[in-house]
Structure 1
Amino acid sequence: MQILLIRHGESEDDFLEENYEGTTDLPLTIKGVDQVEKMCRRVSEEFPPEFIWSSTLLRASETAETLSNTIQCPVTFLDDLREMQDMESEFNFRLRAQNVLSNIKVNSANYKRIAIISHGGMITKIIESFLQLPPEINDVWFNSNNTGINLLEYTDHPYKLIRFLNSTRHLN
């Protein structure tokens, strides 16, 4: 099974003074909507998913709904795909990511390719979980630009593939 991990488009949260979007819940900007439309065109042409899982935060849900409408596939929204919570430790955040990835994998077993629309921190933690890095390790960061696409793959062999990380070619 292939997993497209996609970060939401630019949102009004990007311009907050503390420069960390976290659990704030503001919509996409005009630029963010444009980024999402470009990402959707690329995904629909190159690797359309059969199912979409998305964070419930507005910037991610708007991104997911646009992708769902573009490729005509269902989307399910999960609170566990939200960004790190205010009082949540790095360790617990990682465990949440590990659990949500495991649940998504089980509930997506009938699909060849799915998409997960989420946030930079959660995408890092999902990739760490995919790589089975120990949860105690919290000094790794996988850069995620707005609408950056990552393609991970569980194969029939005893290994996993990272096809690419943080591709934003659609924005050029």
Structure 2
Amino acid sequence: MELLIIRHGQSEADLLGVHEGRADFPLTALGEQQATKMTAYVAAHFPPDIILTSPLKRAKATALLLQEEIGCQLIEEQELMEFNNGVLAGLAREEAAVKYPLPPNGRPAHIPIESGESELEFRFRAEKIFHQIVYDYQGYKRVAVISHGGLISQFLKAYLQQPISSQHFFATGDTGIHLLEIKEGKRVIRFLNRLEHLNGE
């Protein structure tokens, strides 16, 4: 079983200097171009049998472009949404720093942001959706997962069985692609954060 993990294209929040998270911004024109290039690349090299996507606009729009090209089923999955950043969603970073300043040593992992979730809850959600996908879609050869940078990083931690205390962060560029394979009980990394489709290669 292969897991093709893909981040959405550039969103309007990237240009506005605001906290995104659960704020539901659409793709920019550039983001649509990035997603179109990703779609052509994936269709040519790694066509999925099914697509799972976060329902947030920036991810779903990216997933719909891929579905149109491939022609496979697309399913929205709530657990693939980005970190629930509560009161910070859509707030300008400067304003957020004044209204909701972080404690000197950062927010403890078990304490959620106001109206949002904690880092521990976020990690558990990624663990849950990882195991759910592997179990529910084990009959598929290749499953595409369209999500967000933060969730993808947590998903990769779950895949690698990293401890909750792990401080590693796996970066994913706009429409970055990761390919994972579970074969005979082994968890293989084929590649991480591939972006060559944006360079016209």
TM over 0.5: yes
Corresponding position: 1:171 with 2:170: no
Name the count of aligned residue pairs. Answer: 169
8 Å CA contact 1:23–1:85 kept in 2: the answer is: yes
1:140: how far off? 1.0
Are 1:148 and 1:168, in contact at CA under 8 Å, matched by a contact in 2? yes
Identity %: 43
- Pair 1:92 & 2:114 matched: no
What whole-Å deviation, never above 9, does each CA across 1:98-146 have from its counterpart, x for those lacking one?
0011111111111010100000000000000000111232x11111100
Tell me if the contact between 1:13 and 1:21 (Cα under 8 Å) persists in the aligned partners. Answer: yes
1:109 equivalent in alignment to 2:108: no
Aligned to 1:132: 161
| TM superposition shift of 1:16 | 2.6
Tell me which amino acid in the other structure corresponds to 2:181: E
SS at match of 1:76: strand
Alignment of 1:8-157 (within 5 A): 8-18=8-18, 20-86=19-85, 87-137=116-166, 139-156=167-184
Runs of 4+ in 1 over 3 A off after TM superposition: none
Structure 2 CA distance, aligned partners of 1:150 and 1:21?
Answer: 22
Deviations 1:25-53 (A, max 9, x none): 11111111110010000000001000010
SS of structure 2 residue aligned to 1:22: coil
Q: How far is the alpha carbon of 1:76 from its aligned partner?
A: 0.5
Structure 2 length-normalised TM: 0.82
| 8 A Cα contact 1:91 1:136, kept in partner | no
Post-superposition CA distance 1:80-101 (Å, at most 9, x none): 1011002211111000000011
Distance in 2, Cα, partners of 1:164 & 1:58: 26
Provide the rounded CA distance (Å) in 2 between the counterparts of 1:65 and 1:122: 19
CA contact (8 A) 1:38 1:171 kept: yes
Q: How far 1:62 moved relative to its partner?
A: 0.3
How many angstroms apart in 1 are the aligned matches of 2:13 and 2:127? Answer: 26
Structure 2 segments unaligned to the other structure (5+ residues): 86-115
Shift of 1:72: 0.3
What secondary structure is seen at the aligned counterpart in 1 of 2:143?
strand
CA positional deviation for 1:75: 0.7
5+ long unaligned stretches in structure 1:
none
